[in-house]
Structures are given as C-alpha cells and as structure tokens.
Amino acid sequence: MDITSLQQPPAMCIGLEVHVALHTKTKLFCACPVVFSAPPNSQCCPICLGFPGTLPALNQKALFLGATAGFLTKCKVHSISQMARKHYYYPDSPKGYQRTQAQYPLCTQGAIDIPGEGNKLKTVPITRIHIEEDAGKSIHQGGKTFLDYNRCGVPLIEIVSAPVLSSAQEAVSYLKSLRQLLIYGNVTKGKMNEGDFRCDVNISLQSSSGKSLTPRMEVKNLNSFQSVQDAIGYEYQRLFSYLEKNESLLPQTRGFNQKTKRTFLLRNKEQEEDYQIITDPNFYPVFLPDDLLKEISSSLPLAPWQRESNYMSVYALTPYQAKQLSNEKEIGDYFDKATTFPTHPPTLANMIITDAFKLLPPQSSTIPISPEYFALLAQLVHEEKINSSIGKKLVALLWEKNQDPYTYIETHCLWQINDEEILLQAIHQVFCENPALLADYKRGKTAVSKSLIGK
C-alpha cells in the first residue's frame, strides 16, 4: 500500500469489547461471595475450582443484570439464549474451558449515543452483550507463577461495539458513557481500580474512503481510560510507520505496558485460536419469560441523559445544573427525593452544586442532610426569608448535624427582614447610632457602607 497515494492521513477504525463485572453478591455459578482483595483462594469452592462431579447453577441476579444492561443499551434482550463452553488451556481456567455464551447471546443489536464532534451526538451500535465467568489471577513473581482463584467464576458481561469509533477520544467517550450508564442501572459498581471494567481494543487503519489499509490489531486487557487512550495513540503511530515503510503486517493480539506506554506482541493471529466451542450440556437453554423481561425493562432507572433532559424540562434547570446533578446517580436520586417536598428546584440545584459538593469527601456522593431539610432550606432562600449567605452557613451546619432548619433559624433569629418599614427604621437607627460613619459616607467614603450594613 503506497501511503503517498493517500489524500489524507489514514483514519482509525476502532471497535471495543468491554468486560464488566456484574454487581452481584455471589459468583455466576456457585455461592462463593464476590469480594475484592480477599486473601488468595479464600473465596473458592469445589464448583468454581472445577472439581470432579461438580455442576454449575446459574446466578439469576446476574442474568437479570445482563438483561438490564441490554435494556439500558436499547438491545433486543432474548428470551432464550444458551450457555457455551470455550476451550483453552491456562492455569487460571480450572475446567480447561470458560463458561460463556457464543452463538445465542443474551442481547443483540443495541446502541448508545455518545458526545461526538462539536456538540453532536454519535450513535455507537452495540453488536452483542453476553454473560460469562471470569478467570482466576496469575501472579508472576520471582520466576514463579502463583494462582489466585478468587476471581474465578465472578459474573461478567461482555459488551461488543461495532467498529465505528474513529479516535482515542471517541473511544474514551464511549467507555465513559457506557460505564456511567451501567452504574446508573446498578449493573456494576464500575470501580476501575478493582478491575470492574476491562477493555480490549480492536484497531485498524483505513483510508478516508473507508478502504482498509492494515489488518486488525487487538490490544487486550486495558483497565483505565488513560491506558485506552495511550494504547490507541501508540498503535496508530506504530501502524502508520508500517504503512510509511510499506511493510506488511499480520493481524496480531497485543498487550499494553502501562509503564512504557507501548503495546507488545502476544501472538500472531495467522492461526485463529480454535476454542472448539460447544453448547454447554450442563444447562438447558437460558430462559427469561416475557413477563419477567417486561418487569425488568419497566423498572429501569432513568439513564443519565434522560434525567438531564427531565431536569431541564420539568424543573427549568440550566444544562450545566442538569449535568452536574445527573453525573453521579446518587446525587440525582437525592435531588429527586428532595423535590418531593415543597421547594424551589433551581435554588436547590444551585445550593447542592455550590455548597454541598465541596463538602463531599473524595469518591463519595452521599449527602448527610435529610432531603426534606435541604428542600426547606432552598425554599426559604428562594422566598428570601433567609439570605443566601445564611443559607450557605446552614448547609454546613446541617451537614455536621442533621436538623430541622426552620427550628434553628427561629432559635437563632436568622430571619431576613424584608419589611420596608422595619428596614427603614433599622437603617434610621443605625444612622443615629453611627453619625460619624454616616458623615463619612456622605462625604464619599462608600467603603464604610459595608460596616454600616454589618450593623
């Protein structure tokens, strides 16, 4: 391929496969608890260790969460799907095969919209979502390999996107949107540092007319948005340099080194890995009756952008406010609860964003003030019954000790006085008591107005 014949630099053609850890109490096929960072091999049993004669029992909650993920991403969630066995030898896979879904996955043909070029939305089709079990962990240390089977059997969904992403930014945008959506749906905790959200990137270069210029490269097991961005960046350069030198390329499976920020070869794909996939004879087809599907799809939490648009249309919040309140599900839930009490939503929104957010400990979205009290506070500020700086102080106070703001205001005489006559009287009194300051002001020292107001 003569790269000089191209009018424009080659474009990227990126597809993503994400493995998402489902938020369940127990593993996919046994009752072992799912606990992050437990002592090695302490969360295992004969079933997840693949002992002779043991059989799997499908975790129904995991199945529901898989279906939920499908509904959240507007997929067709199939009433009937099938478990399959994918065979390969590796010490972290005790049975010599992984239980997954192949020909008949749980969900197909969905899509999510992500923020794209300019302010436009880009639709990213989702080819499929299927449930599968995670493998154990191999830890290489001191020339030996240690095996921890705690993670073996943890429920995952694999979400495969169509290869329509065209840049690292788009890829990261897709991942962020997907993650937020799934956290919103209570499908996953989405904790990147616990490996809840791992990504494989499939990338090839193509001409602007869509003609493929390189074979497809797969970079496996990226577990942060930064590594996804860096890996794509590196691969683009690497592939581009091959094209420049007119060297041939084979499809490859590659890993990513976070320290050097480079990808490295794991294996060439000339021989497609033959997983000898068969339907798993230890299961009848996985069945989700229609009424259950209806129940799941009708009790979905709102997607973040749905919530955003609701906030703008229903509560007349600004786009900024709407976005700030929808970003973390817990905050939006709080706001929703608070607005069930008499309040002024835009003021409430403002106070949460300006005053409450800065009081939140890192990585927490829990506001310790009762929604009812915060709602009341916002109402009082809006009606000018207390001024906004008193309002701010009260937020901090209620944060420390949750209490009825009305009572506190009463006891501490914090009501804002709005009656003009009373105000004039008070002003007159201040002027009488401070003739010197008044004289200064009349002479032009407007700065003293502050101390006058303070009285």
Partner 1 sequence: MANSLLFHTIGQLHDGLEKKKFSPLDIFHAYQKQITNVEDTLHAYLAFSPFVNPSRYKNNSPLLWGIPFALKDNICTQGIRTTCASKMLADFVPPYSATVYSKLLAQGAVLIGKTNMDEFSIGATTETSAFGSTYNPWNLHYVPGGSSGGSAAAVGGLMTPYALGTDTGGSIRQPASFCGVVGFKPTYGMVSRYGVVAYASSLDQVGTLTKTVEDAAMVMDVLQGKDPKDATSVSVAIDYTGALGKPAKNKCIGIPKEFFSIPLALEIEKSFAFAMGIFQKLGCTFKEVSLPSFSYLPAVYYTLSSVEAYSNLSGFDGLRFGLSDANAKSIEDLYFFSRNHGFGSEVKRRILLGALLLTQPYKETHYQKALLLRQQLHHDLANVFSGCDALLSPVTPYMPPNTGTSIEEGTSGHPGDVFTLPANLGGLPSLSFPCSISADGLPIGMQLTGQRFSDGKILQLGHAFEKIRSFYHTEVVKKWT
Q: Which residues here bind partner 1, judged by CB under 8 A?
A: 46, 49-58, 85, 87, 89, 91, 94-97, 145, 147, 274, 276, 278, 281-284
- Find the length of the chain: 455
- What lies within 8 Å, CB to CB, of 354 at 6+ separation is 392
The least distance separating partner 1 from the CB of residue 202, rounded to whole angstroms, comes to 24
Question: What is d(CA 85, CA 94) in angstroms, rounded to the nearest whole number?
Answer: 13
The least distance separating partner 1 from the CB of residue 3, rounded to whole angstroms, comes to 37
The least distance separating partner 1 from the CB of residue 76, rounded to whole angstroms, comes to 25
Q: Which is nearer to partner 1, 39 or 53 (CB)?
A: 53
Q: Which is nearer to partner 1, 144 or 401 (CB)?
A: 144
Question: What is d(CA 32, CA 30) in angstroms, rounded to the nearest whole number?
Answer: 6
Question: What is d(CA 455, CA 91) in angstroms, rounded to the nearest whole number?
Answer: 77
Q: Is 216 exposed, middle or buried (0-12, 13-18, 19+ CB in 10 A)?
A: middle
The least distance separating partner 1 from the CB of residue 50, rounded to whole angstroms, comes to 4
The least distance separating partner 1 from the CB of residue 359, rounded to whole angstroms, comes to 48
The least distance separating partner 1 from the CB of residue 264, rounded to whole angstroms, comes to 21
DSSP string, 416-441: PP--HHHHHHHHHHHHHH-HHHHHHH
Q: How far apart are the first and last CA of the chain?
A: 81
The least distance separating partner 1 from the CB of residue 140, rounded to whole angstroms, comes to 12
The least distance separating partner 1 from the CB of residue 330, rounded to whole angstroms, comes to 35
Q: Which is nearer to partner 1, 54 or 310 (CB)?
A: 54
Q: Which is nearer to partner 1, 58 or 292 (CB)?
A: 58
Q: Which is nearer to partner 1, 96 or 368 (CB)?
A: 96
Q: Is 270 exposed, middle or buried (0-12, 13-18, 19+ CB in 10 A)?
A: exposed
Cα-Cα-Cα-Cα dihedral of 244, 246, 252, 258, to 10°? -20
DSSP 14: E
The least distance separating partner 1 from the CB of residue 253, rounded to whole angstroms, comes to 20
User: 305: how many CB neighbours lie within 10 A of its CB?
Assistant: 19
Give the count of alpha carbons within 13 A of 148, CB side only: 16
Q: Which is nearer to partner 1, 46 or 319 (CB)?
A: 46
Question: What is d(CA 17, CA 366) in angstroms, rounded to the nearest whole number?
Answer: 32
Q: Which is nearer to partner 1, 86 or 382 (CB)?
A: 86
Which of helix, strand or coil describes residue 233? helix
- What lies within 8 Å, CB to CB, of 141 at 6+ separation is none
Longest dimension (CA), the chain: 98
- What lies within 8 Å, CB to CB, of 181 at 6+ separation is 72, 73, 112, 303, 304
Q: Which is nearer to partner 1, 95 or 238 (CB)?
A: 95
Q: Which is nearer to partner 1, 284 or 435 (CB)?
A: 284
Which of helix, strand or coil describes residue 121? strand
Q: Which is nearer to partner 1, 96 or 233 (CB)?
A: 96
The least distance separating partner 1 from the CB of residue 79, rounded to whole angstroms, comes to 18
Q: Which is nearer to partner 1, 46 or 368 (CB)?
A: 46
Which amino acid is located at 271 in the chain? Q
Which of helix, strand or coil describes residue 220? strand
Residue pair 139/146 in contact (Cβ under 8 Å)? The answer is: yes
The least distance separating partner 1 from the CB of residue 284, rounded to whole angstroms, comes to 7
